[in-house]
A = this chain, B = another copy of it.
Amino acid sequence: MRSDATRNREAILRAAEELLDAHGAEHISLDRVAAAAGVGKGTVFRRFGSRTGLFQELLAERAAALAEAIESPGSPLGPGAPPRERLLAFLDELAGLAERNLALFAAHERACAADKYRDPTYLRWHAHVTALVAAAAPGLDAEFAAHTLLASFDADLARHVMAEGGADRLRASVRGVAEALLRA
């Protein structure tokens, strides 16, 4: 990749973030993103393929730290931790991510509305949760339960719950459901 391409790519991602923070998930057209990045619209599409691609990459970037934490041993998130605690810790972490990136979650959802089950980040999260549910609650349909648990972080639901009580309220509610499920 040419150096100007790399620079532009970064500029576009940062511009998208700024617009999300400033105006929420609505009215973020790719024209605007391009303008804010000081770049032509074609450049946005060349780098990211589509609106969907842009928000997928942005989410992947924001989720990178979590993805790494999941794979490195030694924390309650990493391999080696007992599945139940590992799952609860992961959900806690997701709640934090959702809080810090509500607008991005919303935009990403909207952009991936068509077959959301092909988003790489969602797929990773789902595989992770499925495995942990299967280990901690063998009686359940783990795949289905994993979708159900992840649905807690739907942007609208998360916003609604966090409106009274912030991320802690979301964490508590999710934990309540998760613990109930694992008791099975």
Q: Which residues of A contact B (CB under 8 A)?
A: 26, 109-110, 113-117, 137, 139-141, 144-145, 147-149, 151-152, 154, 156-157, 160-161, 172-174, 176-177, 179-181, 183-184
A152 contacts across to B, CB distance below 8 A: 144, 148
Taking a contact as CB atoms closer than 8 A, the residue among B113, B149, B180 that contacts A110 in the complex is: B113
The CA of A137 and the CA of B152, in the complex, are separated in Å by 19
Q: Please tell me if the beta carbons of B110 and A176 are within 8 angstroms of each other in the complex.
A: no
Q: Are B140 and A177 in contact (CB under 8 A)?
A: yes
Report A84 CB to chain B, min CB distance, Å.
14
Minimum C-beta distance from A66 to chain B (A): 21
C-alpha gap A160/B117 in the complex (Å): 9
Chain B's closest residue to A157 (CB) is B147
From known contacts A148-B148, A157-B147, infer whether A180 and B140 are also in contact, taking CB-CB under 8 Å.
yes
Q: Quick one: given A113-B110, A141-B172, A184-B183, are A148 and B177 in contact (CB under 8 Å)?
A: yes
With the chains together, A142 CA to B172 CA distance in Å? Answer: 13
Majority DSSP secondary structure for residues of A touching B = helix
Given the known inter-chain contacts A141-B176, A183-B183, please indicate yes or no for A156 contacting B115, CB distance below 8 A: yes
Chain B residues with CB under 8 Å of A177's CB are: 140-141, 144-145, 148, 181
Closest B residue to A115 by CB, please name it. B156
Q: How far is the CA of A176 from the CA of B138 in the complex (A)?
A: 12
Could you tell me if B180 and A141 are in contact, using CB atoms closer than 8 angstroms? no
Q: Which residues of B contact A180 (CB under 8 A)?
A: 137, 139-140, 145, 180-181, 183-184
Q: Contact: B156 with A173, CB < 8 Å?
A: no
